[in-house]
Amino acid sequence: MPMTAQAIEEAILAALPGATVELTDLAGDNDHWAATVTAPQFVGKSRVAQHKLVYAAFGGRMGGELHALQVTTRTPT
C-alpha cells in the first residue's frame, strides 16, 4: 500500500514540529510525490543533514512503502 498524502504530511510533521509541508502528486498515481518541507530544524544544517531529517520521519518506509518522494528543503524566512 502506498502512503497517502495525509500520512506523508503527518509523518513529517510528527518528526519536525512547526514545519510546513507542500505535497505535489507528480504522476497523478498517488505514489510519486514531491514534498517541499520548510522547517526551523533545518537552520544551520547542510542539505544532506536536512534531507536526512525528512527521511528519518519515515523510518524504514522510505524506498519501500514510500516508493518515490522528491524532497526539497527550505529554511523559514
Partner 1 sequence: MADTHARISDLVTSNDVVLFMKGTPLFPQCGFSSRAVAILDHCGVAYESVDVLQDMEIRQGIKSFSDWPTIPQLYVKGEFVGGSDIMMEMFEAGELQQLLNEQGVAKVS
Nearest approach, Cβ of 42 to partner 1 (angstroms)? 13
Closest alpha carbon to 7 in 57, 46, 76, 53: 57
Q: Which of 24, 30, 70, 75 binds partner 1 (CB under 8 A)?
A: 70
Binding region for partner 1 (CB under 8 A) out of 8-16, 17-25, 44-52: 44-52
The helix (run of H) or strand (run of E) holding residue 24 is strand 20-25
Q: Is 68 in the site for partner 1 (CB under 8 A)?
A: yes
Which residues partner with 69 through β-bridges?
33
Binding region for partner 1 (CB under 8 A) out of 3-11, 16-24, 37-45, 59-67: 59-67
Q: Is 62 in the site for partner 1 (CB under 8 A)?
A: yes
As a whole number of angstroms, the distance between CA 47 and CA 26 comes to 22
